[in-house]
Amino acid sequence: MSDGTDGPRVGDGGTAGPRVGSGDHPSGGDRGDAAVRSDGGTTGGSADRGADRPLSGLTVLELGHIVAGPFCALLLADLGADVIKVEHPDGGDAIRDSSPLGNSSFNYVNRDKRSVTVDLKSAEGRAVFADLAAEADVLVENFAPGTAERLGIGYEDLREDHPELVYCSIKGFNPGPYERYPALDPVAEALSGVMSVTGHPGQPPVRCGTSVADMTASFYGAIAVLGALRRRDATGEGGKVTAPLFESTVALMGYWLSFAQAYDEVPGPLGASHPNWAPYDVFRAGDGEWVFVGPSSQRQWVAMCEALDLDLHRDERFATLEDRREHVEALTDLLDDAFGESDAETLVARLRDAGVPVAPVNDAADVAADPHLAETDALAEVTTAEGRRRTVRVPRFPVRASGFERVDSDDPPRLGEHTDEVLSSLGYSAEEIEAMRDRGAV
């Protein structure tokens, strides 16, 4: 479901139609100075819910779909930006109402945004988009290569009229030999080497259990947008940011690339282990549950043995970390037997009390009910826009910072939910909006 490049339902054809400059509204009316929120506030969406957040007062246009573009824009929304999600009137984001998992992905990565529907293949729709772009600070898109340019909304199309715009383009690859290849999250994981070290020896390679390439590109994109905004503060000029799935995921493999070149040894699948430490793996407890245990210092190794009444730290085969690495298979067999004598809850409690890194292997339902996440208010409660109409808890922005207010999250938007209020703030009358809706432009 994670797609960093294919274009959404706005289509990938057509030619650029008339464009409206920053001073020319088709109705002849004046633009409003601030966007209007559904709760009656101004400057729109998330911007008013936390005026002291770093990006409060900035507007982001998101032409995103599935994971990569929407997640990048979500990060900017969490920092206070007002994110306006621009979608095609016929269906919107390709993942809307696509499947139970697709719906769940949409509801997470699109919280705290407003949805406006615009047909970018129509001249009238592009004129509306030009008005939106004139008020924007940042644009985020993850169309297939060349799609934005064919629609007349690429960076070069917009920069002349909007020189202060920061344009973030999330693609499969940076410009080069691969740039026109289709890309998905697993494509980036496979090419980057991440897939080669994921899974277990002797088994087929596997992708990570979440969209790690999409999200990594989103993180790098958001970081670069912040840098571009800082540069704009100093120079008055915007710029283009390209955040690639492939190269971003390669960055996660940095120390393995260094290792393979320096020691002429290529790492294989690691399971949950790590060749630098022993023991460092998942073990099955007596009740059948899995637990990760990873003492990473000599003190923790001794503490683990003492907490579990083991004499392994006195065995010369396991005296030092180097010894334990050399005899890791024998050590693992002994620990499998020892850990199998306790249930997971007891094992975790005893090792935590001893200061040893340990964790139960939680599933998604366990995480949703985690007491630490509840106590630290790490999950936001939202009403879903896609799928079953119910309240769910989804992750909030996890970082805490002094002077940075964390506010309650808005629900993910229904398709076109905010079209009227956003276009009204740009100076369009209710009659104009309704006429454009009748013509399918919005």
**405 contacts: CB under 8 Å, gap ≥ 6:** 50, 52, 53
CA distance 44 to 440: 24
**How does 3-30 read in b/e, with b if 16+ C-beta sit within 10 Å?**
bbbbbbebebebeebebbeeeebbeeee
Q: Are strands 281-284 and 239-244 parallel, antiparallel or unpaired?
A: unpaired
Cβ atoms 170, 72 nearer than 8 A: yes
CA distance 131 to 428: 10
DSSP letters, 348-376, are: HHHHHHTT--EEE---HHHHHT-HHHHHT
Cβ atoms 379, 373 nearer than 8 A: yes
**7 contacts: CB under 8 Å, gap ≥ 6:** 65, 143, 144, 147
Question: Known catalytic residue: 336?
Answer: no
Which of 214, 281, 410, 411 is labelled catalytic? 214
Neighbours of 45 (CB within 10 A): 27
Residues annotated as part of the active site: 214
